[in-house]
Chains A and B, each alone.
Chain A
Amino acid sequence: MKRTFLLVLTMLLVVLMITGCWNRRELNELSIVGAIGIDKEPGADQYMFSVQVINQGVISSKGGGEGIGQASVTTFEMETSSMFEGMRRLTTVSPRKLYLAHMRMLILSEEVAKEGVGPILDLFSRDHEYRPDFYVIVTKDTKAGDVLKQFTQIEKVPANKLFSSLEMSEKHWAPTVAVRLDEVEASLVSLGKQPVLTGVMVRGDERAGESEKALQRLEPPAYVVYTGIGVFRGDKLVGWLNEEESKGYNYIADNVKSTVGPLACPQKGEVILEMIRSSSNVQAKFQNGKPQIQIKIKAEGNVGEVLCDVDLQDPKTIEKLERNGEQRIKQIIQRAVDKAQHQYRSDIFGFGEVIHREDAKYWKKIQGEWDEVFPHVPVVVDVDLQIRRTGTKVNSYLTEMRKAREKAKEQK
Chain B
Amino acid sequence: MDNGKISGHQLMILTMLFTMGSSILVVPSGLAGTVQQDAWLPVVVGIVVTLALSWFYLYIGSLYPDRTLVEIIEKLFGRWVGAPITLLFIVVAFCVGSGSCLYYLGDFMTTQIMPETPIQYFHLLYILLLIQGTRLGLETLARSAEILFPFFLLLVIAFIIFVSPQIETDRLQPMLEAEFKPILQSTLSYVSFSGFPLIFMLMLTPACTDRGKRLQKKFLLGNLIGGLLILITTILCVLVLGVDATSRSMYPNYALARKINLFNFINRIEVIMAIIWFVSLFFKIVVYFYAGVLAMAQLLRIENYRVLTFPFGMMLYVLSLMVYPDSSFMRHWDSTIWVPLIATFGLVFPLLFVAVAIGKKFLTR
Contacts and interface: CB of A to CB of B under 8 A. Distances in A.
A and B touch in the complex (CB under 8 A): yes
Contacts of B124: 15
Given A185-B245, A186-B245, A132 B117 contact: no
Given A8-B132, A131-B268, A360 B244 contact: no
Contact of B244 (A4, A189, A359): A189
A4 B128 CA distance: 11
Interface in A92-134: 128, 131-133
A97 B117 CA distance: 17
Given A23-B115, A182-B245, A357 B174 contact: yes
Interface string B110-136: 011111111001001100100110010
Given A128-B112, A133-B261, A185-B244, A15 B121 contact: yes
A186 B116 CA distance: 29
A128 B173 CA distance: 30
A23 B173 contact: no
A189 B113 CA distance: 26
A8 B125 CA distance: 10
B117 A23 contact: yes
Contacts of A357: 170, 173-174
B267 interface: yes
B198 interface: no
B174 A360 contact: yes
B255 interface: yes
B258 interface: yes
B5 interface: no
Nearest to B173: A357
Which residue, of A182, A358, A360, has the highest number of chain B Cβ atoms within 10 A?
A182
B241 interface: yes
Nearest to A127: B115
Interface in B232-287: 241-242, 244-245, 255, 258-259, 261, 267-268
A12 B128 contact: yes
B245 A128 contact: no
B177 interface: yes
B292 to A, nearest CB: 20
A128 B121 contact: no
Nearest to B129: A8
Interface in A122-175: 128, 131-133
Interface residues of A, number: 23
Nearest to A132: B258
B255 A132 contact: yes
A128 B113 contact: yes
A82 interface: no
Interface in A350-364: 353, 356-360
Residue of B113, B131, B244 with most partner-chain A CB within 10 A: B244
Nearest to B260: A133
A35 to B, nearest CB: 18
A211 interface: no
A185 B255 CA distance: 14
Contacts of B135: 4
Contacts, number: 52
Interface residues on B, range: 20 to 34
A343 interface: no
A193 to B, nearest CB: 11
Contacts of A12: 128
B159 to A, nearest CB: 16
B275 to A, nearest CB: 18
Contacts of A190: 244
Nearest to A282: B170
Interface string A17-33: 00100110000000000
Interface in B148-165: none
Contact of A128 (B111, B117, B259, B268): B111
A373 interface: no
Contacts of A185: 244-245
A190 B36 CA distance: 12
Given A8-B132, A356-B174, A22 B114 contact: yes
B253 to A, nearest CB: 14
Interface string B97-116: 00000000000000111111
Nearest to A183: B242
A404 interface: no
B47 to A, nearest CB: 25
A185 B244 CA distance: 9
A8 B258 CA distance: 34
Contacts of A380: none
A11 interface: yes
Contact of B116 (A4, A22, A132, A356): A22
B241 A182 contact: yes
Residue from A11, A133, A359 with most neighbouring chain B CB atoms (10 Å):
A133
Nearest to A350: B170
Contact of A186 (B132, B242, B255, B259): B242
Interface string A345-377: 000000001001111100000000000000000
A207 to B, nearest CB: 35
Contacts of A4: 132, 135
Interface string A181-199: 0100110011000000000
18 contacts: A11-B128, A19-B117, A22-B114, A22-B118, A23-B115, A23-B117, A128-B112, A128-B113, A131-B258, A131-B268, A132-B258, A133-B258, A133-B267, A182-B241, A185-B245, A186-B244, A353-B170, A356-B174
Interface of B: 111-118, 121, 124-125, 128, 131-132, 135, 170, 173-174, 177, 241-242, 244-245, 255, 258-259, 261, 267-268
Given A128-B113, A128-B115, 5 more contacts: A11-B128, A185-B245, A186-B242, A190-B244, A360-B177
In the A-B complex, the 5 residue pairs with the smallest Cβ-Cβ separation, listed nearest first, are A22-B116, A357-B173, A23-B114, A360-B174, A22-B117
